[in-house]
Amino acid sequence: MKREVTLLGILHGGIVLRNGCILVTVTGELQIFLRCGGRGEFFAESLAFWKNASIIVVMIRFRIFGIPVEIQPWFWLILALLGSDFGQKGGNMNEALAVALFVIAGAISILVHELGHALTGKYFKAQPIIVLHSFGGVAVFPYAKFTRMQSFLMIAAGPAIQILLGMIVWAIQYKYQSQFSEAFAGFLDDLWLVSIIWAILNLIPVSPLDGGQMLYQIMGPKRRRLFLQVSIGLAILFAVGLFLITRFPIMPIFLLYYAYQNFQELRNFR
């Protein structure tokens, strides 16, 4: 039994890949759910399995360019779930490896995005903190006071640097693909794809996405109400459009949730 377990990520609970299935526990005992990669099946399994699994309990914290970074346990889980659906699975690559490579690529890409915000904020004399949480990342600037132009540049820098990363990785992949191993080529594909898609989705002009925050900085605080109305309209439009085009519900669900959040804020104006 133990031989089937590959420790993929590090969580306070634990995330383990077993024959391409992802299993999640809290405190290493209570099972929340498990899922087989790509097929979307949920099923239960005996807890006895877990007694053999080695699960490390940790929240990762480090500094990069002097900026504190915290990676919360659920960050790895959501990436692994996305990776089980979208990771490069072609050829002979073992699915656990493919998901692990997707997770690493996603973590690098999202960290670079947040560093774009954080380093620009730091340039404007703020003291940023980066947190990678369950549904992505955030760069926060406690006590910072930015002008509207500074805010706009700080927000734009995240998607901008991420698109740049995606383009550079794509160029390297395109030029040297034949010399790379299957795993490394798959990793690079994940890295540029995640970077471009993540950046573009973040540029949708809906609050609180980067695109929405940029639009707000352009419109200004006096037009907050109008901004929220525009944001709600665009959120619904993009949710429907993206669903019709991609048939994939995650981003549309987020957009509708943002529309609801914006609507709640709008109601407080009355």
Among 20, 37, 73, 158, binds Zn ion (CB under 5 A): 158
- Of the pair 13, 158, the CB lying nearest Zn ion is at 158
Tell me the residue type at 206.
Answer: V
Task: Please say which residue, 17 or 130, places its beta carbon nearer to Zn ion.
Answer: 130
Q: Does 210 bind Zn ion (CB under 5 A)?
A: yes
As to burial, measured by CB atoms within 10 angstroms (0-12 exposed, 13-18 middle, 19+ buried), residue 130 is buried
Judged by DSSP in three states, 2 sits in helix
Stretch that binds Zn ion, among 99-107, 146-154, 162-170, 210-218 (CB under 5 A): 210-218
Phi, psi torsion values for 20, nearest 5 degrees: 80, 5
Site for Zn ion in 102-121 (CB under 5 A): none
Question: Least Å distance between CB 266 and Zn ion?
Answer: 23
Q: Which stretch binds Zn ion (CB under 5 A): 26-34, 150-158, 175-183, 250-258?
A: 150-158
Nearer Cβ to Zn ion (89/113):
113
Q: Tell me whether residue 77 or residue 111 sits nearer to Zn ion (CB atom).
A: 111
> Smallest distance, Å, CB 168 to Zn ion?
19
Each residue 169-208 as x (binds Zn ion by CB under 5 A) or -, in order, gives ----------------------------------------
Shortest Cβ 172–Zn ion spacing (Å): 24
**Nearest to Zn ion by Cβ — which residue?**
158
Cβ atoms of 185 and 179 closer than 8 Å: no
Which SS3 state, helix, strand or coil, does residue 148 take? helix
Q: Which two tokens stand for residue 15?
A: 């995330």
Residue 153 CA to residue 150 CA, distance in Å, equals 5
Q: Looking at beta carbons, which pairs linking 252-259 to residues 24 or more positions away fall under 8 Å?
A: 254/135, 255/204, 255/206, 258/206, 258/207, 258/208, 258/209, 258/212, 258/231, 259/206, 259/231, 259/232, 259/235
252 binds Zn ion per the rule CB under 5 A: no
In the complex, the residues that contact Zn ion under the rule CB under 5 A are 158, 210
